[in-house]
């Protein structure tokens, strides 16, 4: 992974972790944030957040999920049906997934194609989105193929990820502070979808703090991890939260050149606003929190192998085993908590949810979200 100069180096991270362990401390924020509970169920707030997701560059998929010319993925992003495809020129493009005839979606799910044929009336579009063929073209006088291709939205590849902006061209400068996460050596091997009855922010918040590890994950993650011992860094609109494993103690007696964090920590990058990238022991995940309604969220999780210190990919079977462990180590517990909280936010119990100094990344998330919304 290419470094971000705003973030701590591995030796700096390790020293800070050891300092926290020795002093029974953790990284702290400097403010408390009170988030009104209406933001977790209000339709007005939901619409404003959807509008925000449509005007920012948002991760859509891994580059490795589009390996060949004609590889495509069709799904909704911020409520909009999108079609993202790698063209004959190798470039990734994104389109509104709507035929220019009657609006039918021209592709579904994912696959590889030479062109896209609308299943309703067979209008045909190239990988570049251009309208190639209209059956019975004489029945559409004045309708030229030129200028009636699929409506394109901005797409950009960087660091093994495909970003999409539905409203305006992506300025590379707006994502230059995001690390380059993945290389061509890493292997995409799996994906999952989960639909939960919880606001997307409640689910995203579970990834941003370690204050809950001992209490919530007592039998799952806590036997391997440290409770409320995290490194939290804000960079731009984003954050990185590092969760050490107890086995990091093995590094204390090693020479500095042999002290590697691979397998000793989980690093979670919260890419504002709705994406979390987790770098785990043998694999990494890209989680996209897609808001479906104020109280319902679809989580898309893409899994890819890590790189070993010498640069080669982790064995896929080892990565799959690691992924199975992660699911058993608290993932479902986090989801259940988010759904349970959703059941209380429209009661009179609380006017707001409170995030304190142990929840620095969540405070930064809500402060940034507040600045972006009207």
How far, in Å, CA of 164 to CA of 170, rounded? 8
Residue 1 belongs to a domain? no
- Give start and end residues of each alpha helix (H) in the chain: 10-23, 43-55, 200-205, 213-216, 316-326, 332-342, 360-372
Enclosing domain of residue 136: 58-169
Residue 176 belongs to a domain? no
Residue 175 belongs to a domain? no
Residues 60-73 pLDDT 10s: 999 999 999 999 99
Where a domain ends, among 169, 199, 230?
A: 169
Where a domain ends, among 145, 169, 193?
A: 169
- Please tell me whether residues 36 and 62 are part of one structural domain: no
Contact 282, 319 (CB under 8 A): yes
- Please tell me whether residues 17 and 79 are part of one structural domain: no
- Please tell me whether residues 195 and 329 are part of one structural domain: yes
- Please tell me whether residues 302 and 162 are part of one structural domain: no
Residues paired with 78 in a beta bridge: none
- Domain of 80, CATH number, reads 2.102.10.10
Report which of 255, 251, 291, 249 is spatially closest to residue 274, judged by C-alpha positions: 291
Residue 90 belongs to a domain? yes
- Please tell me whether residues 112 and 188 are part of one structural domain: no
Structure confidence at residue 240 (pLDDT): 98
- Please tell me whether residues 42 and 186 are part of one structural domain: yes
- Please tell me whether residues 282 and 357 are part of one structural domain: yes
How far, in Å, CA of 277 to CA of 263, rounded? 16
- Please tell me whether residues 85 and 134 are part of one structural domain: yes
Cβ neighbours, 10 Å, residue 307: 17
Alpha-carbon distances, residue 189 vs 26, 87, 134, 304, 309 (angstroms) = 35, 22, 38, 6, 20
φ, ψ for residue 24, nearest 5 deg = 55, 50
Residue 177 belongs to a domain? no
Residue 40 belongs to a domain? yes
Residues 80-100 pLDDT 10s: 999 999 999 999 999 999 999
H or E segment to which residue 166 belongs: none
Cβ neighbours, 10 Å, residue 172: 11
- Please tell me whether residues 192 and 328 are part of one structural domain: yes
Report which of 113, 115, 112, 111 is spatially closest to residue 126, judged by C-alpha positions: 115
- Please tell me whether residues 252 and 353 are part of one structural domain: yes
Structure confidence at residue 186 (pLDDT): 96
Residue 5 belongs to a domain? no
Residue 4 belongs to a domain? no
Alpha-carbon distances, residue 360 vs 35, 185, 234, 313, 369 (angstroms) = 14, 34, 9, 33, 14
Cβ neighbours, 10 Å, residue 178: 24
Contact 26, 210 (CB under 8 A): yes
How far, in Å, CA of 226 to CA of 243, rounded? 7
- Please tell me whether residues 212 and 130 are part of one structural domain: no
The model's pTM is 0.95
- Domain of 20, CATH number, reads 3.90.380.10
CA 305-59-110 angle, to 5 degrees, is 70
**Predicted confidence pLDDT, tens digits, the chain (374 residues):** 777 778 999 999 999 999 999 999 999 999 999 999 999 999 999 999 999 999 999 999 999 999 999 999 999 999 999 999 999 999 999 999 999 999 999 999 999 999 999 999 999 999 999 999 999 999 999 999 999 999 999 999 999 999 999 999 999 999 999 999 999 999 999 999 999 999 999 999 999 999 999 999 999 989 999 999 999 999 999 999 999 999 999 999 999 989 999 999 999 999 999 999 999 999 999 999 999 999 999 999 999 999 887 778 889 999 998 888 776 668 999 999 999 999 999 999 999 999 999 999 999 999 999 999 98
How far, in Å, CA of 327 to CA of 286, rounded? 14
Structure confidence at residue 328 (pLDDT): 62
CA 74-79-83 angle, to 5 degrees, is 20
Where a domain ends, among 134, 169, 204?
A: 169
How far, in Å, CA of 374 to CA of 370, rounded? 8
Contact 81, 58 (CB under 8 A): no
The single-letter DSSP state of residue 313 is B
- Please tell me whether residues 224 and 310 are part of one structural domain: yes
The total number of structural domains in the chain stands at 2
How far, in Å, CA of 332 to CA of 36, rounded? 26
């Amino acid at each position: 992974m290419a470094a971000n100069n705003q973030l701590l180096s591995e030796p700096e991270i390790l020293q800070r972790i050891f300092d926290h362990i020795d002093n029974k401390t953790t990284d702290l924020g400097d403010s408390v944030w009170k988030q009104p509970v209406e933001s977790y169920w209000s339709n007005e707030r939901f619409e404003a957040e959807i509008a925000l997701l449509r005007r920012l560059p948002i991760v859509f998929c891994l580059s490795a999920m589009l390996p060949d010319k004609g590889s495509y993925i069709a799904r909704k992003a911020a409520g909009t049906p999108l079609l993202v495809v790698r063209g004959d020129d190798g470039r990734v493009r994104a389109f509104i997934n709507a035929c220019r005839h009657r609006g039918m979606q021209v592709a579904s799910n994912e696959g590889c194609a030479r062109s896209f044929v609308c299943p309703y009336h067979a209008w045909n579009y190239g990988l570049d989105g251009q309208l190639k063929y209209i059956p019975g073209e004489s029945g559409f006088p004045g309708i030229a193929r030129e200028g009636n291709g699929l409506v394109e939205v901005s797409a950009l590849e960087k660091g093994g990820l495909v970003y999409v902006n539905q409203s305006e061209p992506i300025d590379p400068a707006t994502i230059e502070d995001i690390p380059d996460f993945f290389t061509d050596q890493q292997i995409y091997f799996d994906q999952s979808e989960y639909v939960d009855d919880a606001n997307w922010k409640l689910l995203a918040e579970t990834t941003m703090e370690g204050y809950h590890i001992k209490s919530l994950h007592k039998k799952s993650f806590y036997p391997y991890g440290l409770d409320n011992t995290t490194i939290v860094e804000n960079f731009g609109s984003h954050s990185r939260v590092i969760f050490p494993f107890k086995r990091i103690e093995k590094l204390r007696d090693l020479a500095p050149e042999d002290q590697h964090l691979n397998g000793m920590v989980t690093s979670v990058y919260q890419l504002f606003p709705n994406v979390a990238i987790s770098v785990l022991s043998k694999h990494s995940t890209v989680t996209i929190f897609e808001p479906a309604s104020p109280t319902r969220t679809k989580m898309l999780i893409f899994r890819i192998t890590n790189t070993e210190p010498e640069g080669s990919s982790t064995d896929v079977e080892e990565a799959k085993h690691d992924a199975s462990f992660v699911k058993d180590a608290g993932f479902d517990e986090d989801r259940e908590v988010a759904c349970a909280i959703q059941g209380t936010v429209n009661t009179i119990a609380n006017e707001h949810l409170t995030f304190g100094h142990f929840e620095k990344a969540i405070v930064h998330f809500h402060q940034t979200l507040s600045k972006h919304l009207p």
